[in-house]
Amino acid sequence: MPMKGKSGPCRLAVLSVDGMRPDFYRRPQEFGLKIPNLLELVKSGASADAVESIYPTTTYPAHATLVTGVPPSVHGIYSHLASLDPTEKARPWCWFASALRVPAVWDVVRATGRKAAAISWPVSAGAAIDYNIPEIWDPAMADPHRDFTTPARHSTPGLFPEVLKVLEPILAGATPDRLRTEAALYLWDRYRPDLLLVHFVHYDQLAHQFGPASPQALAAMEETDDEIGRFRQGFLEGEAPTLVVLSDHGFVPVEKEAAPLSVLTEEGLFDREADGTPILGKLGAVHAGGSFAVYWLEEPSASDRASLQRAMKRLVEAGAVDEVVVRAQLESLSADPDAELSIDAAPGVYFSDRFEGPLVRDSIKDRGTHGQLPTRPGLEASFIVAGPDVSGGRNLGRMALTQVAPILASLLGLPGGILASNEELSELKG
């Protein structure tokens, strides 16, 4: 069922606003938010009250689900980190699309002879995207947003310097999102991709730093709304494309930081050098803000298992843990198949990668987090779609993140099968 827009096949732009909560566009007055562009899209298009994300509710696995329509256990991106070794300095992230075990929407776009472009999309390095500047950085650098060398090296040959030239006049002083907008609009006009994917990060950064509903984070959300306005303006000049604004997860506030690695070390699951540097043993670990997963790297002895149980008990007793998510639950959540267990942070708490010091302390860095179970209130993701094939003012209710990719495929008029189930589209058309 190929979809036709008013002027030929539909072009689609997908803007991911990292961490955006749906209550921002459902109840903006509650937050004193001025987001006219988002509200106009909600009015003229279809939008969800909430989108249930995947586990853990973090950026990389969630973005992989957004473009594949399947949960982490199927697409293969289980967390943001590509390394299970918490003693490693500057751990690499899951930047590379080669880690995806199923086709993504860009693969289907290419297979049907159409073109895709992407700016800073997670897990897109090396992807079959015609015009691609992926999100990737040198993990040893202090500010990844100022690392232009690494993304340049992994971009479509020649594209990074070409785009950088366009950005030159605004380079000093522009937020990362402003740069992304300008780069994306340039690709949209210059190369006319059928699909454009853009990842905005400013709100997520400030929500981590100051809290999800802090004045700073809300100001960032209003700035993002301005960027969305630039897209709407940019699109007015040509044909009316379909515009999707969505997110990967929501956000919850935190005041306390807990250090599972410190307890696991005290229980003997990590050793230390003479100078105190931790040494990797049988246990791997991944901290993900609101959750923390552990992995047996070698077959554990009965005493190793007892040590892990003791560490978990201490974390629970210290009030750091809301729930221990055991193997069977991880399976029913379609989450990481390699994890032994995961702990979900208690309200107000997040997990760090600290090996030293007290089990729980006041947070000195973060005031917002995500990563817990997707049913945790506040962690819902967003979805708004507006365009010539979408009837206005529709409420899509509560959706699942896995439903997004089939909708994108349908909107692009891609053949069914791999990603597409046209059920979602008929829902949109009303």
Closest CA to 148 of 132, 137, 159: 137
Q: Do 249 and 404 touch, CB atoms closer than 8 A?
A: no
Segments in 90-243 forming alpha helices (H): 105-111, 149-154, 159-167, 176-191, 202-210, 215-236
DSSP string, 184-229: HHHHHHHH--SEEEEEE-HHHHHHHHH-TTSHHHHHHHHHHHHHHH
**Structure tokens of 176?**
């990362």
User: Which residue lies nearer to Zn ion by CB, 33 or 381?
Assistant: 381
Q: Which part of the chain contacts Zn ion (CB under 5 A), choosing from 78-86, 221-229, 248-256, 372-380?
A: 248-256
Q: Which part of the chain contacts Zn ion (CB under 5 A), choosing from 17-25, 68-76, 215-223, 419-427?
A: 17-25
User: Which residue lies nearer to Zn ion by CB, 59 or 402?
Assistant: 59
Q: Which part of the chain contacts Zn ion (CB under 5 A), choosing from 24-32, 74-82, 120-128, 247-255?
A: 247-255
Q: Do 345 and 351 touch, CB atoms closer than 8 A?
A: yes
Q: Which part of the chain contacts Zn ion (CB under 5 A), choosing from 33-41, 54-62, 234-242, 410-418?
A: 54-62
User: Which residue lies nearer to Zn ion by CB, 59 or 403?
Assistant: 59
Tell the smallest beta-carbon distance from residue 248 to Zn ion (Å): 4
Q: Which residue is nearest to Zn ion (CB)?
A: 59
Q: Is 242 in the site for Zn ion (CB under 5 A)?
A: no
Residues in contact with 155: Cβ distance below 8 Å, sequence separation at least 6, in sequence order: 132, 133, 134
CA 208 to chain centre: 13
User: Which residue lies nearer to Zn ion by CB, 110 or 208?
Assistant: 208
- Residue 278, helix vs strand vs coil: strand
Distances (CA, A) of 398 to 259, 383, 406: 34, 10, 16
Tell the smallest beta-carbon distance from residue 51 to Zn ion (Å): 13
Report the length, in residues, of the chain: 430
Q: Is 135 in the site for Zn ion (CB under 5 A)?
A: no
- Residue 260, helix vs strand vs coil: helix
Tell the smallest beta-carbon distance from residue 201 to Zn ion (Å): 8
Q: Is 18 in the site for Zn ion (CB under 5 A)?
A: yes
Tell the smallest beta-carbon distance from residue 320 to Zn ion (Å): 22
Q: Is 372 in the site for Zn ion (CB under 5 A)?
A: no
Tell the smallest beta-carbon distance from residue 204 to Zn ion (Å): 5
User: Which residue lies nearer to Zn ion by CB, 248 or 322?
Assistant: 248
# binding residues, Zn ion (CB under 5 A): 3
Backbone angles phi, psi at 339, to 5 degrees: -75, 140
Q: Using CB under 5 A, pick the residue from 16, 37, 59, 132 that binds Zn ion.
A: 59
**Structure tokens of 231?**
């897209």
User: Which residue lies nearer to Zn ion by CB, 18 or 340?
Assistant: 18
Q: Which part of the chain contacts Zn ion (CB under 5 A), choosing from 18-26, 158-166, 192-200, 385-393?
A: 18-26
Q: Do 389 and 429 touch, CB atoms closer than 8 A?
A: yes
User: Which residue lies nearer to Zn ion by CB, 11 or 249?
Assistant: 249
Q: Is 57 in the site for Zn ion (CB under 5 A)?
A: no
CA 16 to chain centre: 8
User: Which residue lies nearer to Zn ion by CB, 290 or 406?
Assistant: 290
Tell the smallest beta-carbon distance from residue 19 to Zn ion (Å): 5
User: Which residue lies nearer to Zn ion by CB, 59 or 87?
Assistant: 59
Q: Which part of the chain contacts Zn ion (CB under 5 A), choosing from 135-143, 240-248, 357-365, 408-416?
A: 240-248
Q: Using CB under 5 A, pick the residue from 225, 248, 366, 424 that binds Zn ion.
A: 248
**Structure tokens of 214?**
């802090």
User: Which residue lies nearer to Zn ion by CB, 227 or 248?
Assistant: 248
Beta strand pairing status for 12-17 and 195-200?
Answer: parallel
Tell the smallest beta-carbon distance from residue 228 to Zn ion (Å): 17
Closest CA to 228 of 89, 1, 22, 386: 386
- Site of interaction with Zn ion (CB under 5 A): 18, 59, 248
